[in-house]
Amino acid sequence: MTEAAALPGQPRGGVLSGPATSRAVNVLAPNASPMTLDGTNTWIVAEPGSDLAVVIDPGPLDDTHLRAVIETAERAGRRIALTLLTHGHPDHAEGAARFAELTRTKVRALDPTLRLGDEGLTTGDVITTGGLELRVVPTPGHTADSLSFHLPADRAVLTGDTILGRGTTVVAHPDGRLGDYLDSLRRLRSLTVDDGVHTVLPGHGPVLDDAQGAVEFYLAHRAHRLAQVETAVEAGHRSASEVVAQVYADVDRSLWPAAELSVLAQLEYLGEHGLI
């Protein structure tokens, strides 16, 4: 067993940009940071043999990156016909308007303020551009507008920030809610059990080849963190900052502001369920 295979979700090693499945190609944005890992994954998805492609999450407002996405599609003999967003955070969506201008495409998203065109995205929608089949899966929690896209022909799911290729995601309180996030993880688990999904194409980090293992790890991690937060509160640590200092003491302090958002969501969840 390789070191990568021993990690949750079996992340792939090697270069992140390039083909990931028969239908999905990643173009990595140059915006690496502690919060974005290696950078934002911009996915080009197309049916084999089709001259049309769909782009998911153009990424930051970086003309060099946006043009690289277009050039990658064109080298494969494809024209970008549609832009989709998993959610509205700037590292995924800030470049969408400029990308739509460059490609003359519509932008579809759950949040009406992010759309360019009349059509949004809702539960049960199926994207069929160029013969491709992408099914819209609601996965709120990281943010209220978070979506995933099920790519059944490749037994894959594009998860945005709901599941990352490395580490765990932030439930961005107050927009994000932990109860919603746990429901979304269970919804993704059902895709792995009932629909045969085995590959996660995340918004950041490497592709995961064990989708069910990744979801189970995330659920176990959330349960463990909730127990830690509950214990910290019982010990007298009441504010989010106090809980972070107690529970996330082994985490890089540069990530504590993000951890505080998750703790606020955890405290809200525990309060709603009468656990604190």
**Over the stretch 170-205, which tens digit does the pLDDT of each residue have?**
998 999 999 999 999 999 999 999 999 999 999 999
Long-range contacts for 48-52 (Cβ within 8 Å, ≥24 apart)?
48/22, 48/23, 50/78, 50/130, 50/131, 50/132, 51/77, 51/78, 51/79, 51/130, 52/78, 52/79, 52/80, 52/81, 52/129, 52/130, 52/132
Tokens 């915006």 belong to residue: 31
Residue 130 is predicted with a pLDDT of 97
- Can you give the pTM of this predicted structure? 0.94
CA dihedral 152, 155, 158, 164 (to 10 degrees): 160
Give per-residue pLDDT as tens, 4-19.
556 899 999 988 999 9
Report whether 274 contacts 263 (CB < 8 A): no
Domains held by the chain: number? 1
Mean pLDDT of 60-89: 98
Tell me the two tokens of residue 147. Answer: 């979506």
pLDDT band at 238 (very low <50, low <70, confident <90, very high): confident
Calculate what percentage of the chain has a pLDDT beyond 70. Answer: 98
Q: Is residue 93 domain-resident?
A: yes
Q: Does residue 240 form part of some domain?
A: no
- Name the range with the highest mean pLDDT among 56-60, 121-125, 248-252: 56-60
Indicate whether 186 belongs to any domain. Answer: yes
- Indicate which CATH number applies to the domain containing 127: 3.60.15.10
Residue 101 included in any domain: yes
Residue range 228-232: average pLDDT?
Answer: 95
Name the residue range of residue 114's domain: 18-212
- Give, in degrees to the nearest 5, the angle at Cα 130 between 129 and 133: 60
Q: How far apart are CA 165 and CA 214, in angstroms?
A: 9
- Domain assignment of residue 135, yes or no: yes
88 domain residue, yes or no? yes
Question: C-alpha angle 263/10/149, rounded to 5°?
Answer: 70
Question: Is 264 a domain residue?
Answer: no
Instruction: Kindly state whether residue 59 falls inside one of the protein's structural domains.
Output: yes
